[in-house]
Amino acid sequence: MEELAQVAIDAALNAGVMFADVRIENSTTTIIELNDGITRQSMASRMKGAGIRAFIDGAWAFAQTTNLSREGMRATGRSVAKLARATREKVADRFKIEGPVFEDNVKLNVKKPFDTVSIDEKMQFVKLIDDQARNFDKRIVATRTIYGELTSEIFIANTLGTRVYLQNTIPRIISVPTAKEGPNRQRIQQSISLRSGFEEMETETAQTIGIRASQLAIELLSSKTAEGGIYDVVIDPALNGVVTHEAFGHATEADNWPAHSTVLEEKLNETVGPEYLSISDDPTLTGMRGSTEYDWEGTKTKKRLLVKDGILTDLLHSLETSSRLGLEPNGAARAQSFMHVPLPRMSNTFMEPKDWDVDELIEDTKKGILLCSFNYGYTQSAKGQFMFQASHGYLIENGEKGTMVRDVSLAGNILEILAKVDAIGKDFELEAGTCGKDGQSIPTMTGGPHARIRQVPVGGM
């Protein structure tokens, strides 16, 4: 891989560019899906190729190739450099790409590699979960169960001198049961995914996910529709993670600054929340789905304390954004595959826990609502607006968790919402997610503790 990357880099430099980088990827994926006990798909695929970028005076060009011969890499490096040179006169903001140099060979050791588990064993696992969900209760009228796995190796090289080899393996199991009673129809999705081998799928938590998903779907049948209004809201770790990631985290991706497309544009090193609020994005956490030792530009990753004691202290950077803004790179450039351009992205994003016991937090909330997990929503990073529908919730009356409710949503402006956070729990959970941006999907995790937000609008039916 290193020799082929150098061929492309030399070709790009000889064509007259200032900077070039190469990502060579070799990955395999497996997907097994059952619907109502019937196999819908069972597919394995392999992807191998290189993504090559060239840069000069603020102008980028990108090309991809599956021709990993020396001549193929040379030709692609030459052509992408010519394209960058052809577009540089149209670029107004001129700058240089600067950054540290890293050399490393990172190999991931897992207990049970995917290739040691037969496709029949994996199929039996998916069938187990689907049967669990479908047989839990006669009111479960539909099930969808998906198992996926990714194994990848990537080599990254650039003209600064970086040479990094990475490995990654990620399994995931998803259970989506639908419950129905009369006209009332409720669907729940739950998933488990970590950076590991198949051993994670053999844990009790993974082996019983179908039961838990169906149990929640059945409970929702007897829930009440929520009444909209202004509430003291307690959000659970799952919904906390969604709010932190979607409404706040995307606004800290530093490519928003040159584009003037973030509500946080004038807020760096300024107050964005109460002094007891801290928010982090940490790709160095062991075994997490969003973790990696280096990003897709070969920059070593580190914990990014985005908000420290209520102050916006860091952004998520690629080499371009750190160079343009004159800030330190922190290894946040990620791409879906070699066919995509690396962008500033999140990894494992969460609100830092504090000192409230969850039961005490509920008891201290005399009248409010506990919102749990997530169905769907939207965000507008430029304005800071968001709306998220919780999968379910519970009314809080006289400091006690009461009636289960559904069809309830949290909406507002993220800076106004953060300012109203007045209590943060000491519990902590992360959940698997997939983040989309500019047509790219990457593995992430989100979460945090329970937290309370005072007097915010909650939508109901």
Q: What is the pLDDT of residues 11-47, one digit of tens each?
A: 999 999 999 999 999 999 999 999 999 999 999 999 9
Strands (E), 159-289: 163-181, 184-187, 190-193, 224-225, 229-235, 279-281
**461: pLDDT confidence band, cut at 50, 70 and 90?**
low
Which tokens go with 218? 């059945």
pLDDT value of residue 25: 98
CA angle centred on 232, ends 224 and 362, rounded to 5°: 80
Q: Is the pLDDT of residue 460 over 80?
A: no
Q: Is the pLDDT of residue 92 over 90?
A: no
Report the mean per-residue pLDDT for the chain: 96
Q: Which domains does the chain have, with CATH numbers?
A: 2-221 (3.30.2290.10), 224-459 (no CATH)
Q: Is the pLDDT of residue 458 over 80?
A: yes
Q: What is the pLDDT of residues 137-195, one digit of tens each?
A: 999 999 999 999 999 999 999 999 999 999 999 999 999 999 999 999 999 999 999 99
Q: Locate tokens 């879906």: which residue? A: 336
pLDDT value of residue 236: 97
Q: What is the pLDDT of residues 235-274, one digit of tens each?
A: 999 999 999 999 999 999 999 999 999 999 999 999 999 9
Give Dmax over CA atoms of the chain in angstroms.
73
Report which residue type is found at 280: S
Q: What is the pLDDT of residues 370-419, one digit of tens each?
A: 999 998 888 998 999 999 999 999 999 999 999 999 999 999 999 999 99
User: How do beta strands 451-459 and 408-413 pair?
Assistant: antiparallel
**H or E segment and range at residue 124:** helix 119-135
- The model carries a pTM of 0.95
**427: pLDDT confidence band, cut at 50, 70 and 90?**
very high
Phi-psi region of 213 (alpha: psi -120 to 50; beta: other; left: phi over 0): alpha
* Torsion 231-402-451-189 (CA) sign: negative
Q: What is the pLDDT of residues 345-384, one digit of tens each?
A: 999 999 999 999 999 999 999 999 999 999 888 899 899 9
**H or E segment and range at residue 268:** none
Nearest CA-CA partner of 280 in 300, 301, 298? 301
Note the helical H segments in 145-234.
204-207, 209-221
